Amino acid sequence: MKVKKHEKLEDVYWIEFDDGTRRLATVNLTPGMKVYDERLVRVGGTEYRLWDPYRSKLAAALLKGLKGMPITSGSKVLYLGAASGTTASHVSDVVGTGGTVYCVEISSRPLRDLLIVCGRRPNMVPILADATQLDSYRAVVGQADVIYQDIAQPEQADILLKNSRVFLQRGGYAFLALKARSIDVTREPQEIFRMEIRRLERELEIIDVKTLDPYSKDHAMLLLGK
């Protein structure tokens, strides 16, 4: 088993196994502790967490060749729709002790799991709030380098735009996990993606778009810049 730095993505790694397969991974900020039953591997005295693309849309997007990964060591990230913390924990690994992940979640049930994750990771801040009610977390978050959003609501593009106006600093980036079936089940996903992209590009630069099949059906990951 070998570990190699990703050829394009800072603070992301490839774990290469003896059978020739390779998996994305991040350095575990909390060695010995899992978040979602991910596999832990130790190479050269460093522990890595395998990053499952079927559980994390960000991992799926990176495997599909998304152009760049602006979340890096020291980044301040506003994560909208953190759920139980699966992807947010890998973001926590990447930003490290010098960064912060503000995890906004509206549902109390996944928040219970999120609180456990955040309790073990000092760079993750749990926030019980509605992402459409920005004033409820404005004082806590301030300005962010990156916004990451994964919210299954029809107005998901509008939610990102509202948050980017208030929290995303000039020159910052945003990820939007776009869920076509949450917007309109009667239209083809590609039609919905085009419609939402037109809405978003009025205010943000569209850097890249990747559909996430086969990892997440009828989803696309958008990387945007301000």
Please give the average per-residue pLDDT across 115-130, as a whole number.
97
pLDDT tens column, 54-65: 999 999 999 999
pLDDT tens column, 12-44: 999 999 999 999 999 999 999 999 999 999 999
Q: Which CATH superfamily is domain 2-51 in?
A: Phosphorylase Kinase; domain 1 (3.30.200.20)
pLDDT tens column, 202-214: 999 999 999 999 9
Domain with CATH 3.30.200.20 in the chain: 2-51
136 exposure class (CB count in 10 Å sphere: 0-12, 13-18, 19+): middle
Burial profile 47-56: b = 16 or more Cβ within 10 angstroms, e = fewer: bbbbbbbebb
Q: Are 218 and 181 in contact (CB under 8 A)?
A: yes
Q: Provide the CB-side half-sphere exposure for 132 (13 A, CA).
A: 8
CATH 3.40.50.150 is the classification of domain 58-225: yes
Domain with CATH 3.40.50.150 in the chain: 58-225
**Could you say which DSSP state residue 39 is in?**
P
Q: What is the mean pLDDT of the chain?
A: 96
The pLDDT > 70 percentage for the chain reads 100
